[in-house]
Structure 1
């Protein structure tokens, strides 16, 4: 029986379509517990590769025959060997092409909606990391918001749409993943925008994102509303696109709110975080569709694979927006936070331009789940 190959795109479709999948993850227990492929109808078995080198006979009765089976490892090699052993034992299995490395780097483009004067807005779902990037397309022009370091997909997508990338924005100085904004700007000649309060230590030229800026992409207005000190950073910035969409960066998520501690300033910034969420956002239209820079849990995905919800619904349902007592709020966002992202200080320095790790080092720095939210 031949061993099948499953791509990260195919696994992503199973996640979005809420299909069943059995995953045999042959990484060590610590890596598996830290970060794994998640799906609402996925089942799991974690047995390290080294425990299976001498044969798979002891686990055959744990491998189902009534659903697709996928063998997963870090970079592919171990999963190919175990999948071949299972196949020789008569089991119909596949391995994940490129392993968790490929899963970490896969981006799935999803159309979020149409713009009033023509054009579209797309969300790029980095399914394995929970990162969300955006492209606004209008009249032959495009803007990208919160691009990841995997830049080819944005360049290829723009080429397929026959649009010229004119502007790239980062809502804040990212701490959990390496931005691709500067790289895309260098490749296309587009303007690269950053909040100046986050850019005091950067080593490169940029356009300052400031409250009141309005940038036009084709026929579409991107209204920049600098919300002081929310989320991770002192410069975190929101965008209202086409009077329909609110891009919140890492201030507000669908199921949670942003953590203010990744620059060691939790106590200093918690008041600003509350002011942005509880007062400035309250002044915005409840009909705006919130498009965050991350999602935390797979249940936040809509049926079409997008991560989006009206602001009014979040004020009704998101626990982080419904804590009346300020001291309770302060305690929630400064205590009992999840572990900080892997290599987050190195990632911040990379995004400042202070260090330039090679491709493999950048990949290692990003491995693991995002941990941007207060949980």
Structure 2
């Protein structure tokens, strides 16, 4: 029986469930080495399409006989050609990923994180192909979305399915690695859009200032509070959120296995002291049993068994190497000497998120190609 094409959503579920998978990536070697699909039980092989077509019989011999082969390319077109060649060579256990890495980059997988004593339910939307994490917080008939990706229909449909109205849309900072859907989502849903004013000095649109201590409330009785805490370092305006005294949304300041980088506005030397003050002073004053929910992850190993990316603050202070540096000078060297390559098109992405540029959808996809690279290595 012929295999049907695999959707990005189906692939995401297989990876979250840690299924054994074999992926044949037919993109050029450079593209594969820069960015590929990760998973705990994912086996990968890279053979560019031109090489496969020249030597399909030898490629056939390298493929597993006892498991399905999923062919991956940039947008799904080259993968279909590879599948046709392999089937002509007698390979039956082969199909392709619909939409390729583009579709994989844009898929959001919702994972329920938990509930609070005041009745809030929080979901983490995991963008496996990009390493982005966004959040949907519900209380009675109201909801807030935090660090929304540009695929805003996912949040709108989720709100409809759960019979809630999106009341607030929040960006913890001005993003440089992906295009925010925050302002557009807020406009379409009639919600208030919140962003830190220090990050919004050059934006071209209206917003509500996300400021330290000014709570955003959800629920008919406004019993669920989203409490902003000024936490600069990744950007000058970065602001974390404590949700109902239970969850700490850290934006791009603190991740599970690493810490945020301070250089995406070209100000690493200026902002590194802010980053240290946030991580080593501000966060130290918070309850250590808060569950940290970051805006990104860097490696598949950061995913828990349920597919979520989360850890208690006290655990991170014991295990995250970015929180173990004793001196200011050592910290400065660790941060400024270990910066990975900057995200693809990060300058253009920042301008887009300011409202100064409005590229078309194809251009937006191109700008977001590649890993997020928001963490210090």
TM-score by length of 1: 0.98
- Match of 1:136, SS state, is strand
Alignment of 1:11-30 (within 5 A): 11-30=11-30
Indicate the residue corresponding to 1:292 in structure 2: 294
Q: Aligned-pair RMSD on alpha carbons?
A: 1.0
Q: 1:204-258: per-residue Cα shift (whole Å, max 9, x none)?
A: 000001111111111311111112x222x10000000010000000000000000
Alignment of 1:1-375 (within 5 A): 2-54=2-54, 56-88=56-88, 89-218=90-219, 219-227=223-231, 229-231=232-234, 233-375=235-377
Q: 1:41-91: per-residue Cα shift (whole Å, max 9, x none)?
A: 111111111112345111111100122311001111111121122233133
Partners of 1:3 and 1:84 within 8 A in 2? no
- Match of 2:325, SS state, is coil
CA distance in 2, matches of 1:295, 1:7: 22
Partners of 1:2 and 1:87 within 8 A in 2? no
CA distance in 1, matches of 2:238, 2:375: 14
Task: Note the C-alpha offset of 1:11.
Answer: 1.3
Where structure 1 has 5 or more consecutive residues not aligned to the other structure, the ranges are none
Partners of 2:179 and 2:352 within 8 A in 1? yes
CA distance in 1, matches of 2:195, 2:62: 51
Partners of 2:53 and 2:85 within 8 A in 1? no
CA distance in 1, matches of 2:341, 2:236: 21
Partners of 1:4 and 1:93 within 8 A in 2? no
- Match of 2:283, SS state, is helix
CA distance in 2, matches of 1:90, 1:4: 14
Structure 1 range deviating more: 173-182 or 37-46: 37-46
Partners of 1:173 and 1:199 within 8 A in 2? yes
Partners of 2:67 and 2:93 within 8 A in 1? no
Task: Note the C-alpha offset of 1:2.
Answer: 2.3
- Match of 2:358, SS state, is coil
Q: 1:169-209: per-residue Cα shift (whole Å, max 9, x none)?
A: 00000000000001101101100001000000000000001
- Match of 1:43, SS state, is strand
Task: Note the C-alpha offset of 1:132.
Answer: 0.2
CA distance in 2, matches of 1:339, 1:55: 35
CA distance in 2, matches of 1:261, 1:57: 48
Q: 1:93-125: per-residue Cα shift (whole Å, max 9, x none)?
A: 120011111001000001000121223100000
Partners of 1:248 and 1:291 within 8 A in 2? yes
Give 4+ residue runs of structure 1 displaced > 6 Å after superposition. none
Q: How many residues align?
A: 373
TM-score by length of 2: 0.97
CA distance in 2, matches of 1:90, 1:236: 52
Task: Note the C-alpha offset of 1:297.
Answer: 0.2
CA distance in 2, matches of 1:306, 1:22: 23
Task: Note the C-alpha offset of 1:3.
Answer: 4.1
